[in-house]
Amino acid sequence: MLAILACAACSTDSTNISRTFELAYRGGSLADRAAPNPAYRYLRTVVDGRSALLVLGYTDPDPATPDAPPIEVWYSAEGEVVRLQQGRVVGTSGLSTDWRSTRAPDAPTWGSLVASAAQDRAAGQALATWQRTRDESAYRSGVIDRISVHAIAAPRGTELAGLAPESLQWFEERAEPIVPPAGTPGAVRLTARYALRVDSGATEVVYTEHCLGPELCLSLQRWPAR
């Protein structure tokens, strides 16, 4: 399956996704010009301005909440893995910073957030707040963030390709560290942005920007753009 990926890298010393993209696409972005096989589902991934295609390997049920939406498991050519649930990163492996797992049972659905955003609210007011617990690489477990989500205008300077930003509905999640507490080593404020297509009440996350750490941010877009 991995052999069909457009981002097949030519290096054997790559240990993280940024290095994979650098070697695979030095001098150009083949991902944007590739002709994907319609038998597979792809994710256009951009790190440090370089793009590659990940392929959907399979979907898993949520082990904590069986009725929750499934978890999508995406692979790069060199075996890095990104797990998404409703567009949110819930696990990775093989990256320079990994989230081994996350737990956020109170995270709201996108449908409820779209409905809340349609109501009159004060500028900058959070639509919802909840807690997320995550286990990171380097033996950091039990990291807790307080997440707030906000409706935002279509931003400029994104890696969104093939779609008009104004045609989508945008949200931003802001993470405030609780454990370790803000101001202590390892406490990092992280953000994520999401672009949703809303059609006849149905919602779909088509683009995500997600920072896993201060030095690693991913842009993820369902591909090809439609």
64 pLDDT higher than 80: no
Q: Tell me 30's DSSP state.
A: G
Measured CA to CA, the distance from residue 34 to residue 18 in angstroms comes to 20
pLDDT one-digit tens code per residue, 82-132: 999 999 999 999 999 999 999 999 999 999 999 999 886 656 789 999 999
The DSSP line for 79-121 is --EEEEETTEEEEEESSSS-EEEEE-TTPPPHHHHHHHHTS--
Task: Report the phi/psi class of residue 9: left, alpha or beta, with left for phi > 0 and alpha for psi in -120 to 50.
Answer: beta
For 142-174, give the DSSP string.
Answer: EEEEEEEEEEEPPPSS----SS-GGGSEEEEEE
Strand-pairing partners, residue 56, are: 74
Instruction: Report the predicted TM-score, pTM, of the whole model to 2 decimal places.
Output: 0.85
Percent of the chain past pLDDT 90, that is, above it, reads 62
pLDDT in tens, 122-163: 567 899 999 999 999 877 899 999 999 999 999 999 999 999
HSE (CB half, 13 Å, CA atoms) of 220?
32
